[in-house]
Structures are given as C-alpha cells and as structure tokens.
Amino acid sequence: MRKHHLLIAAVTGASAVALGAFGAHALKDTLAAHGATATWQTASLYHLVHAPVLLLLAFQTQPPKRTFALFLGGIFLFSGSLYLLCLTHIKPIGAITPLGGVLLILAWIDLLRMKSSAQ
C-alpha cells in the first residue's frame, strides 16, 4: 500500500459524498431551474461508484499505477466535466465527458489485464 494512493482514494470518496450532498441540498433549486439535476446526479453516481475502486487499488501491495491513474483521470474528466457543465452552463464542456468515460472503460479493462497477469 502506498500512503498517497490511500490519501487520494479517501479524498475522492469524501468529495463524492460532499458534492452529492451539495447538489441535493445547496444547489437543489439552481440545478432544477437549469434542468441539470439529473446531470449532477450522474456525475455524483459515477464519482461515488468509482471512489471505492481507488480504495481497493490503494490497498494492493503494489498499487497498479496505470489502473489507478486511469480510474482517477476518468473520475476527474467524466464527473468533473459534468459538475462544471452544471455550474457554468457552458455546453462545450460536455465534450470532455466522453473522454472521461473512455478512461473509466479502459480502467475496468486494465483490471482484467491485472487479473490475467497475476495468474
């Protein structure tokens, strides 16, 4: 386990919960007024679902740097771009979201590579 991986995983999980709650409460009316509630919820869901994966990877004896980076980059680009889109209403930001999705897909595929190389 590397302490910085654990720290990153913990901050990612905490920020997922905080941003989900922030959207559900403090931004509730603003998001609803702009029709962005579902987008914020999608960002929060993907953020929160992938945070525990970072935690599990952090507890590996040798955390797989590439897989960890793919998941972290995917969370940042996918969820981060959706959060920004909801807050700024600048539509071109949405073009970044699929790049984050591709990174998340590659991260999951990379887990399969890890599993097959461990056998």
DSSP letter string, 39-63: HHHHHHHHHHHHHHHHHHHHTSSS-
Range of the domain at 37: 3-118
How many angstroms separate the CA atoms of 23 and 46, rounded? 14
How many angstroms separate the CA atoms of 99 and 81, rounded? 10
pTM above 0.85, yes or no: yes
Confidence of residue 63 (pLDDT cuts 50, 70, 90): confident
How many angstroms separate the first and last alpha carbons of the chain?
21
Mean pLDDT of the chain: 94
Cβ atoms of 8 and 58 closer than 8 Å = yes
Number of domains in the chain: 1
Q: pLDDT for 70-100, tens place per residue? A: 999 999 999 999 999 999 999 999 999 999 9
DSSP 3-state helix, strand, coil percentages of the chain (rounded to 5)? 85, 0, 15
